Amino acid sequence: MFHWENGLKLTTADLAIDVRRRQPRAFISHAHSDHMARHEFALCTPQTAALYQLRLGPRRTLEMPYRQTIEWGGLRLTTYPAGHCLGSAMLLAEDQGRSLLYTGDFKLRPSLTAEAAELPHADTLVIESTYGHPDYRLPPSEESLAEFFALVRRALADEMVPVIQAYVLGKSQEITRLLTDAGIPVLQHRSIYEVSRMYESLGCPLGRFERFRGRVEPGWAVVVPPGTPLTELPRQVRFALTGWAMDRGIKYRLGVDHAIPLSDHADYDELLQAIDRVAPQAVYCTHGHESFVDRLLDLGYNAHVLGKPRQGRLF
């Protein structure tokens, strides 16, 4: 039903999945740049279609709302929420009694700005396993958020500006909503602001936020893409919210004062939980630690690495 050719392809439908190079026909699981290209024709959820075209200009798309099965290229195709960012989708492909679920980037923990993930059963599971190592068992989100808000409030009390580094699409909007729900208004970098406006027009409100124009009033936080210098702000406390916060010394590599473990990807336990729920006969892992496949084999799964040849610790 599928093969690997510089990326995952559904053989019957000749459909490329989350491929970064232009394709005649592609499925885009979500609008992160490492999952899409200027395809001739793309299948995706309506939210992803809007975000894809915001980022790459007008393109031909076939919109696939969640849970509405279509017949396409000899397959039955259905999207399910992936919980990663607004519009992110898993893809279930069915062909004469056989089924394949491709997760794309996903997480199971609840989010304020992404639809809660749903995992249908499939015979074959292709799973994105970025955090497939026990080092990436993230603490409960409430714990990480309590730490984050304590640090943000302390910064504000000290008349410092909390500056949060976050990816333009998904993480920035989630952080904005977390802050505005806590009564802290947000200034956003222009690139983030454009995506946030689209989130709101797609029915995902983010609270009180405005575009950053070089000045910050007391009591406001600022959200910028990673590595954006704000030299005009002398007194700032920098944050990154990422699963990589589990790595020692990461804050120095990211150039922040505080790295908080909060991710929009499934952590190690969520990966195992997802596989258990899908109950597949075969699991193919993309991204992450190769030891995860060994762990799955130990647990009795028929597990494989999918994609590039093994390179050091990562595949």
Point out which residues bind Zn ion (CB under 5 A).
32, 105
Nearest to 267 by CA among 244, 236, 290: 244
CB of 174 to Zn ion, least distance (A): 12
Query: What is d(CA 296, CA 283) in angstroms, rounded to the nearest whole number?
Result: 9
CB of 215 to Zn ion, least distance (A): 32
Phi-psi region of 34 (alpha: psi -120 to 50; beta: other; left: phi over 0): alpha
CB of 8 to Zn ion, least distance (A): 15
Of 107 and 289, which CB lies nearer to Zn ion in the complex structure? 107
Of 94 and 105, which CB lies nearer to Zn ion in the complex structure? 105
Query: What is d(CA 42, CA 24) in angstroms, rounded to the nearest whole number?
Result: 8
Query: What is d(CA 153, CA 164) in angstroms, rounded to the nearest whole number?
Result: 13
CB of 30 to Zn ion, least distance (A): 6
Of 9 and 171, which CB lies nearer to Zn ion in the complex structure? 171
Of 105 and 118, which CB lies nearer to Zn ion in the complex structure? 105
Of 64 and 216, which CB lies nearer to Zn ion in the complex structure? 64
Contacts of 304 (CB under 8 A, 6+ apart): 282, 283, 284, 285, 293
Phi, psi (rounded to 5 degrees) for 47: -65, -45
CB of 44 to Zn ion, least distance (A): 13
